[in-house]
Amino acid sequence: MSRRLLAVFLAAGVLSACGGDGGAGTLVLYTTVTQNTVDTVVAAFEADNPGVAVEVFRAPTGEVNARIAADLREGDIQADVLWLTDPLSMQQWEARGVLRVAAPDATAVPAEYRQDRFWGTRVLNLVVVRHRDGPAVASWDDLVSAAATGGVVLPDPAFAGSAFAAVAYFAIADDYGFAYLEALHAAGAAVVAAPGDVITAVAEGQYAAGITLDVPAADAVADGSPIEIVWPSPGAIAIYSPIAVTSAAGAATDFVSFVLGIEGQTAIASTGWQPVHPGVPWEVGGPQVTLDWEQAFDRQQELLDAFRAIFGG
Amino acid sequence: MRSEPYSAADRLLPGSATALPLGLAVVALVLIPLVDLIRTTITTTGGSVLDALDGEAIANSLWTAAVAATLATAIGVATARIMTRRGSRAWHVMVLLPLLVPPFVSALAWSRAFGRGGLMDDLVGWTLPGLIGPVGIVVVLAVHAAPLVYLVVGSALRTRARPELEWAARASGADAGQALRRVTLPLLAPAIAGGGLLAFVVSLNSFGIPAVLGVPAGFPTITTRIFGDLARSADPAAFHRVLLLSTVLMALVLVAVAVATATMRRVAGGASSASREPLPVVGGGRPPILMSGYLVATTVLPLAALVLTGLTRAAGLDPWPANWTLANFAEAWQGDAWGAVVRTVVLAATAATVATVLGLLLALARRGGTGIGLAVAAAFAVPGSALAVAVLLAYGPWLRDTVVIILIAYLAKFWALAHRAIAGSCGVVDRDSIRAARASGATGAVTLRRVVLPMLRPALAAAWVLVFLFGLHELTMSSLLYGPGTATLAVVTLEVQQLGDVTVTAALAVLLTVPGIGAAVMMGRQRGTT
């Protein structure tokens, strides 16, 4: 194997000090969760478990997917724990058999925020952001009239799993259906990639309102962006950020138990995200609605195709 | 009086001293990856080739690159004409400024200056129509490639187009336009074609610019499709598309280069050595107001808009001092950014050092090095996206997720840059000094160390700095090759950009760009004073 020799030669001779794998007590975490939330939770876990070091690969959903895909091409996933932003992204790995059966201490996680092999760690709320100078918005239905007067912008369900949740909720819910999405499009609603792009576009006055996630929107408000968060009736669309075990390492289950336990949940709450654990005090911003994830998983491609048929692209 | 330039006849090192490392390097860095890419593409895609071929992305890549190259050639030739008459060293650096900004930072900067919600929108309510989309891609690609055309055509103008001929034409009654058309342009044709080809290849290979300006508009190019499909490559069909597009892109570029080189050789009658002459310093004079306006609009204003965005507290606020903060720069350091900076600098410096050594070896081993030289030049022309996929295929099983695999890709790509910078200056090594040294009993190695290397020192330094800068700014390959703990600063910036946080993205982009510009300005000043 001359190529292996070359590779080893290059690796050893050129940059042996850089890169590097962890030792025996290393846990590899692939995640899409916000940097400071991951940092806070990992620091708390490492303080509790001095023998274990957590190596974090944090990237947007697309890059994490690319990483796992490359892992699978060459064998098995290299991560011990997978912690993502939305259930849909997790479901695709469940369908590919990447997730392992595990028994972390998940007693506190409510039924609507869990599946057999993954558990919700925090709740993300899809809300409306509106520009202070734009028309008033009080309900999801008001977005249609806002789109006609000042423009409305949605995140792309093909790019962001959270955006897919919103589309799936509207498509499945009896009160909305595809007719609602068609009305939005007919009124001139536009699509950008990420929920963060929605906040930027509304703050800069390109659109009067948009659909995005509550926490980054609250951060922008706190920084002084000229936007307001509206908790539209009948409620914000609540989705959960799931975690799963992807290796046989015992520390992986320990880590998941920690994140779902009171200590991990407190750490998550301290970074601004709504915890799933009822024992951690949290004031929810308003009423919440949840969607039928089983149905959303089953109809994923159909819903995405329908969305694309309405909005183009 | 010039002495005869250094040539392979004065072989200083035993053949094996250069041949062995060169051979090993070219096999490991170029041949194995590229052959692996082609082999894997053929074996895995098999009969489904036509189904997987993405005509839209290929067509988009081709026409945007062609239009951008045409524009860049016009701008580059005009700049070269102006600068040879009344350019100064300071202006020379100014004209080259777009090269010192990473392409995707340029695209970000343009969208902050001329996009919706950007600086011009705030100031006068004006936005560039179609900036997010093919128009923006073409314009920013052209602005980026124009300095390359300027470099090629400028040096040809100084060394080849003889002003006497132009004066003679004018004295014989030709007006300025006729003199330009009948005399200057025909003399410059090979250089213009070469510069235009370079602009085309660079534009076709660009990933950062279409990633920022094309993807949000649903305008795919080959390079952005490769990036996107790799993210979906758990699906075998997506991975096949990645392989196929990489191979197609590589083939397109290599064919374009081969055809153009053959055509130019026929036109130029094989003479092209003049473009190797270093640029002389031209004294005095100020370029016309039009050029200042161009530079301000295409480079200064976008960069200023980017800096202002990075300083502004939150999206949607006016970018004035009342809303300024350093919080975005502080937030930019969250997570792995420090590690990324250290990694980026170490990677770029290592790549620069190794590439300079390899470039020197190749420049010294002239005769034996022609085949290797061709392979190295081809690797430079191969788009970063394709090269990265090739390196991933070849070395992924053992080196994936290490900085070494990124380094391999950098070396494969930048070896030619270092080689060109050094080979172009071999003319300064004069034979008599070498003969004198050898006659005085110095061995080849001693002569190399004491005589040749000191004379080449400016070229070696230039090669090092060039590769270092390209390494600092590299995004196309590192965004496909990085793993846990091996992200570079450019990759971190791209990730933040994808999440849509415009102020922190701007802060990171500024941090990525300022050191390069600072270094270049300092070097320009140093050269100006000596």
Distance of alpha carbon A63 from alpha carbon A68, whole angstroms: 9
Interchain proximity A220–B485, CB inside 8 Å? no
Average pLDDT over residues A102-129: 94
Q: How confident is the model at residue B52 (pLDDT cuts 50, 70, 90)?
A: low
Please tell me the predicted confidence (pLDDT) of residue A17.
Answer: 35
Window 168-197 of A, Cβ < 8 Å to B: 192-197
Residue with tokens 């900004």: B101
Type of residue numbered A284: V
A290: confidence class by pLDDT, cuts 50, 70, 90 = very high
pLDDT at residue B183 tops 60: yes
| Lowest-confidence segment of A126-135, B139-148, B168-177 by average pLDDT | B168-177
CB contact under 8 A, A14 and B397: no
CA distance A175 to chain B (A): 31
Query: Are B314 and A14 a contacting pair at CB < 8 A?
Result: no
Of B289, B309, B331, the residue at which a domain comes to its end is: B331
* pLDDT for res B278: 40
Average pLDDT over residues B368-383: 83
Collapsing DSSP states into helix, strand and coil, what is residue A98? coil
Smallest CA–CA distance from A221 into chain B, residue: B314
The answer to whether B356 touches B422, Cβ cutoff 8 Å, is yes
**Band of residue A9 on the pLDDT scale cut at 50, 70, 90:** very low
Asked whether residue B133 is assigned to any structural domain, the reply reads: yes
Mean pLDDT of chain B: 83
Q: Dump the DSSP string for B467-507.
A: HHHHHHH--TTHHHH--TT---HHHHHHHHHHHT-HHHHHH
Q: Are residues B405 and B464 in the same domain?
A: yes
Q: Are B214 and B224 in contact (CB under 8 A)?
A: yes
Examine the pLDDT at B370 and tell me if it is beyond 80. no
Decide if B446 is inside a domain: yes
In B, minimum Cα distance to A226 occurs at: B316
The more confidently predicted of residues A285 and B159 is A285
**Cβ A14–B407 below 8 Å, yes or no?**
yes
Residues B85 and B226 in one domain: yes
DSSP B133: S
Contact A35 B334 (CB under 8 A): yes
Q: How confident is the model at residue A11 (pLDDT cuts 50, 70, 90)?
A: very low
What gap in Å lies between CA B300 and CA B208, rounded to an integer? Answer: 19
DSSP strand pairing (A288-289 vs A236-245): parallel
> Residue A301 is encoded by which pair of tokens?
């491609």
Copy the structure tokens of residue A265: 């949940």
**Overall size of chain A counted in residues:** 313
| Local structure of B227: helix, strand or coil | helix
Which of A7, A69, A78 comes nearest B234 by C-beta?
Answer: A69
Q: Which residues of chain B have a CB within 8 Å of the CB of A8?
A: 398
Q: A234-265, pLDDT tens digit by residue?
A: 999 999 999 999 999 889 999 999 999 999 99
Band (pLDDT 50/70/90 cuts) for residue B267 is low
- How many CA atoms lie less than 13 Å away from A282 in the CB half-sphere? 22
CA distance A56 to chain B (A): 7
Examine the pLDDT at B206 and tell me if it is beyond 50: yes
CA distance to A13, B101, B157, B368, B391, per residue, from B388 (Å): 21, 22, 37, 28, 5
Residue partners of A282: CB distance under 8 A and separation at least 6: A269, A274, A275
Chain B nearest-CA distance from A174, in A, is 31
Is there a single domain that holds both residue B386 and residue B469? yes
Q: Judge whether B294 lies within some domain.
A: yes
pLDDT grade, residue B527 (50/70/90)?
low
What is the total count of domains within chain B? 2
At position B344, the amino acid (one-letter code) is T
Is residue B150 located within the same domain as residue B261? yes
Examine the pLDDT at B223 and tell me if it is beyond 90.
yes
Q: Which residue of A has its CA nearest to B502?
A: A200
State the Cα–Cα distance between residues B30 and B35, nearest whole angstrom: 8
- CA B234 to chain centroid, in Å, comes to 32
Same domain, B384 and B448: yes
Q: What value does the CA radius of gyration of chain A take, rounded to a whole number of Å?
A: 21
Q: Which of A241, A239, A232 is nearest to A290 (CA)?
A: A239
User: B163 with B249, same domain?
Assistant: yes
Summarize chain A as % helix, strand, coil (round to 5).
45, 20, 35
pLDDT of residue B13: 64
> Do both B23 and B98 map to the same domain?
no
Strands (E), B183-332: none
Domain boundary among B276, B298, B331: B331
Between residues A121 and B239, the one the model is more confident about:
A121
Measure A53 CA to nearest chain B CA, in Å. Answer: 14
Enumerate the β-bridge partners of residue A236: A288
Rounded (10°) angle between helices B236-268 and B32-45: 130
Please, how many CA atoms are within 13 Å of residue A221, restricted to the half-sphere of its CB? 15
Q: Are residues B71 and B168 in the same domain?
A: yes
B79 φ, ψ (degrees, to nearest 5)? -60, -45
A192 vs B216, B401, B404: nearest CB: B216
Identify all chain A residues contacting B316, using CB atoms and an 8 Å cutoff: 131, 200, 202-205, 220, 225-227
> Which ranges of B206-235 does DSSP label H, i.e. alpha helix?
208-213, 222-231
Give Cβ neighbours of residue B162 (< 8 Å, ≥ 6 apart).
B187
Q: Chain A contact for B127, CB < 8 A?
A: no
Cβ contact (<8 Å) for B484 and A56? yes
Q: What are phi and psi of B88, to 5 degrees?
A: -120, 170
pLDDT at B7 over 60: no
* Neighbouring residues of B64: CB distance < 8 A, sequence distance ≥ 6: B134, B137, B138, B141, B203, B210, B221
**What is the Cα–Cα distance from B187 to B272, expressed in whole angstroms?**
12
Chain B neighbors of A99, CB-CB under 8 A? none
Q: Contact, A257 vs A105, CB < 8 A?
A: yes
Q: What is residue A101's predicted lDDT score, i.e. its pLDDT?
A: 94
> Which residues are CB-contacts of B364 (< 8 A; sequence separation ≥ 6)?
B8, B12, B13, B18, B448
Cα–Cα dist A40/A43, whole Å = 5
For residue B58, is it within any domain?
Answer: yes
Whether B445 has its CB under 8 Å from any CB of chain A: the answer is no
Contact A177, A141 (CB under 8 A): no
Instruction: Give the residue-averaged pLDDT of B309-337.
Output: 87
pLDDT tens-digit series, residues A149-201? 989 999 988 888 889 999 999 999 989 999 999 999 999 898 888 899 999 99
Closest approach of chain B CAs to the CA of A218, in angstroms?
A: 12
Has residue B275 got a pLDDT over 50? no
Contacts of A58 in chain B (CB under 8 A): 335-336
Please tell me the predicted confidence (pLDDT) of residue B280. Answer: 42
Residues 6+ apart with CB under 8 A from B14: B444
Q: How far apart are CA B66 and CA B60, in angstroms?
A: 10
Q: Report residue B422 as tokens.
A: 């050094």
pLDDT, mean of residues B363-386: 82
Minimal CA separation from B139 to chain A, in Å: 22
How many other β-carbons are positioned within 10 Å of the β-carbon of residue B495? Answer: 21
Contact B117 A201 (CB under 8 A): yes
pLDDT interval class at B274 (50, 70, 90):
very low
Residues B212 and B342 in one domain: no
CA distance linking residue B398 with residue B300, whole number of Å: 44
| 218-247 of B, contacting A, C-beta below 8 A | 218, 228, 230-235, 239
Q: Which of B240, B233, B200, B206 is nearest to B222 (CA)?
A: B206
Helix boundaries (H) for A224-276: 250-260, 262-270
Please determine, for residue A22, whether its predicted confidence score (pLDDT) is greater than 50. Answer: no
Q: Examine the pLDDT at A29 and tell me if it is beyond 90.
A: yes
Instruction: Give the residue from B22, B39, B9 showing the smallest Cα distance to B394.
Output: B39
User: Is there a contact between A200 and B117 if contact means CB atoms under 8 Å apart?
Assistant: yes
- The percent of residues above 70 in pLDDT, for chain A, comes to 92
Query: Residue B254 sits in a domain of what CATH number?
Result: 1.10.3720.10
- Residue B368 domain-assigned? yes
Question: pLDDT category, B462, cuts 50, 70, 90?
Answer: confident
Interchain contact B294–A (C-beta under 8 A): no
pLDDT tier at B160 (50, 70, 90 boundaries)? Answer: low
Q: Is residue B515 part of a domain?
A: no
Residues of A in contact with B320 (CB under 8 A): none
Domains and CATH numbers, chain A: 24-122+240-283 (3.40.190.10), 124-237+292-311 (3.40.190.10)
Contacts of B317 in chain A (CB under 8 A): 203, 224-226
C-beta atoms of B230 and A69 within 8 A: yes
Q: Which of residues 249-288 of A touch B (CB under 8 A)?
A: none
- Is residue B338 over pLDDT 90? no
pLDDT of residue B530: 38
Q: Using 50, 70 and 90 to split pLDDT, how confident is the model at B277?
A: very low
pLDDT at B154 > cutoff 60: yes
Helix (H) or strand (E) holding B291: helix B289-295
Mark which of B269, B296, B331 sits at the end of a domain: B331
Is the confidence at residue B161, as pLDDT, over 60? Answer: no
Host H or E run for residue A124 = strand A119-131
Reduced to 3 states (helix: H, G, I; strand: E, B; else coil), residue A131 is strand
Highest mean pLDDT among B14-23, B223-232, B518-527: B223-232
Mean pLDDT, residues B95-117 taken together: 91
Q: Which position has the token pair 């690319």?
A: A66
* Mean pLDDT across A193-213: 93
Say if B186 falls within a structural domain: yes
* Cis amide linkage into residue A110, ω under 30° from 0: no
B28 in contact with A at a CB cutoff of 8 Å?
Answer: yes
Judgement on whether residues B375 and B351 belong to the same structural domain of the protein:
yes
B513 touches chain A (CB under 8 A): no
pLDDT of residue B276: 39
Helices B337-364, A2-15: axis angle to 10 degrees equals 110
Is B350 within 8 Å of A15 when comparing Cβ atoms? yes
Q: Tokens representing A190?
A: 């536009």
Is the pLDDT at B159 greater than 70, yes or no?
A: no
Interface test with B, best of A39, A57, A153, A191 (most B CBs within 10 A): A57
Beta-sheet pairing, A26-31 with A53-58: parallel
In chain B, what residues touch A10 (CB-CB under 8 Å)? 28, 399, 404, 408
Are B368 and B231 in a shared domain?
A: no
User: Best residue in B318, B502, B504 to probe A by mutation, most A CBs within 10 Å?
Assistant: B502
For residue B220, pLDDT beyond 50: yes
CB contact under 8 A, B335 and A57: no
Q: Which residue of A lies nearest to B405 if distances are taken between CA atoms?
A: A11
Q: Please report the sign of the dihedral spanned by the C-alpha atoms of residue B491, residue B496, residue B500, residue B504.
A: negative
**Residue A50 touches chain B, beta carbons under 8 Å:** no
| Chain A stretch 78-107, residues whose beta carbon is closer than 8 A to a beta carbon of chain B | 78, 92, 96
* A6 in contact with chain B, both atoms CB, cutoff 8 A: yes
Task: Give the domain extent around B234.
Answer: 53-331
A220-229, B34-43, B46-55, B453-462: range with lowest mean pLDDT = B46-55
| Gap between the Cα atoms of A68 and A82, Å rounded | 10
Rounded distance, CA B115 to CA B131, Å? 6
CA distance B29 to B23: 10
Residue carrying the six token digits 């690796």: A11
Q: Is residue A190 classed as helix, strand or coil in its secondary structure?
A: strand
pLDDT-derived band at B281 (thresholds 50, 70, 90) equals very low
Rounded CA-CA distance A211/A197 in Å is 10
Question: What pLDDT band is residue B477 in, cutting at 50, 70 and 90?
Answer: very high
Q: Indicate if the pLDDT at residue B50 is higher than 70.
A: no
Q: Does B123 touch chain A (CB under 8 A)?
A: no
Predicted pLDDT of residue B285: 55
Domain-located, residue B347? yes
Token pair listed for A136: 């008033």
Nearest CA of chain A to the CA of B331: how many Å? 10
Contact B398 A30 (CB under 8 A): no
Domain shared by B222 and B277, yes or no: yes
A-proximal residues of B, 314-373, CB under 8 Å: 314-317, 323, 327, 334-336, 343, 346, 350, 354
Distance, in Å, from the CA atom of B361 to the CA atom of B452, rounded to the nearest integer, reads 12
